[in-house]
Amino acid sequence: MLNIVDVYKRYTPSGQSPVEALRGVSLSLNPGDFASIRGPSGCGKSTLLLSAGLLQRPDEGRIELKGQDVYALSREERASLRRREVGFVFQQFHLIPYLNLLDNIQLSDCVEPEEHGEERATALAEQLGIAHRLQHTPGELSVGERQRVALARALYGKPSYILADEPTGNLDPDSAKRVLDELAQFAEHGGIVFMVTHDPEAAARATRPFTMNQGLLETPA
Partner 1 sequence: MKLSRLFWRELKFRSLHSILSLLAVSLTVGVIATVQMRLEWRRADTERVLSENKAEVEQVFAKLEDEMRKITKAMGFNVMVLPAEQNLADFYANDFAAKTMPENYVNTLANAGIVTVQHLLPILQKKVFWEEAKSTALLIGVRGEVPFPDTVPKSPLLQPVPKGHIVLGYELHANQGWKQGDQISFQGAEFTIHELKPQKGNKDDITLWIPLEQAQSMFDLEGEINAILALQCKCAWADIAKVREELTKLLPDTQVIEFSSRALARAEARNQAADARKKGLEQENLNRQQILLREERFASTLIPLICLGTMSLLAALTFVNVRDRKSEIGILRAVGLSRAKVLQLFLGKAASLGLLGMLPGLAVAVLVFSQLGLPESPLSWQDGLKPLSLSLIALLAPLLQGIAAWPPAVWAANQDPATILHED
Report d(CA 94, CA 43) in Å as an integer. 23
Residue 79, contacted partner among ligand ATP, Mg ion, partner 1, none, CB below 5-8 A by kind: partner 1
Report d(CA 128, CA 86) in Å as an integer. 19
Question: Nearest to residue 173, comparing CAs of 194, 143, 211?
Answer: 143
CB of 81 to partner 1, least distance (A): 8
3-state secondary structure of 218: strand
CB of 96 to ligand ATP, least distance (A): 23
Residue 209, contacted partner among partner 1, Mg ion, ligand ATP, none, CB below 5-8 A by kind: none
Q: Which stretch binds Mg ion (CB under 5 A): 44-52, 75-83, 141-149, 176-184?
A: 44-52
Q: Name residue 134's amino acid.
A: L
Q: Which of residues 66-95 bind partner 1 (CB under 8 A)?
A: 75-76, 79-84, 86, 88, 90-92, 94-95
Using the rule CB under 8 A, which residue among 109, 127, 136, 211 binds partner 1?
109
DSSP letters, 8-66, are EEEE--TTS--EEEEEEEEEEE-TT-EEEEE--TTSSHHHHHHHHTTSS--SEEEEEET
The answer to whether 41 contacts ligand ATP (rule: CB under 6 A) is: yes
Cβ–Cβ < 8 Å for 125, 145? no
The answer to whether 107 contacts partner 1 (rule: CB under 8 A) is: yes
The answer to whether 5 contacts partner 1 (rule: CB under 8 A) is: no
Using the rule CB under 8 A, which residue among 2, 25, 29, 46 binds partner 1?
46
Cβ–Cβ < 8 Å for 9, 44? yes
What DSSP element (H or E) covers 143? helix 143-156
Using the rule CB under 6 A, which residue among 3, 36, 47, 51 binds ligand ATP?
47
The answer to whether 13 contacts ligand ATP (rule: CB under 6 A) is: yes
Length of the chain: 221
Binding site for Mg ion (CB under 5 A): 46
Binding site for partner 1 (CB under 8 A): 46-47, 50, 53, 55-56, 75-76, 79-84, 86, 88, 90-92, 94-99, 102-103, 106-113, 117, 153, 157, 165-166
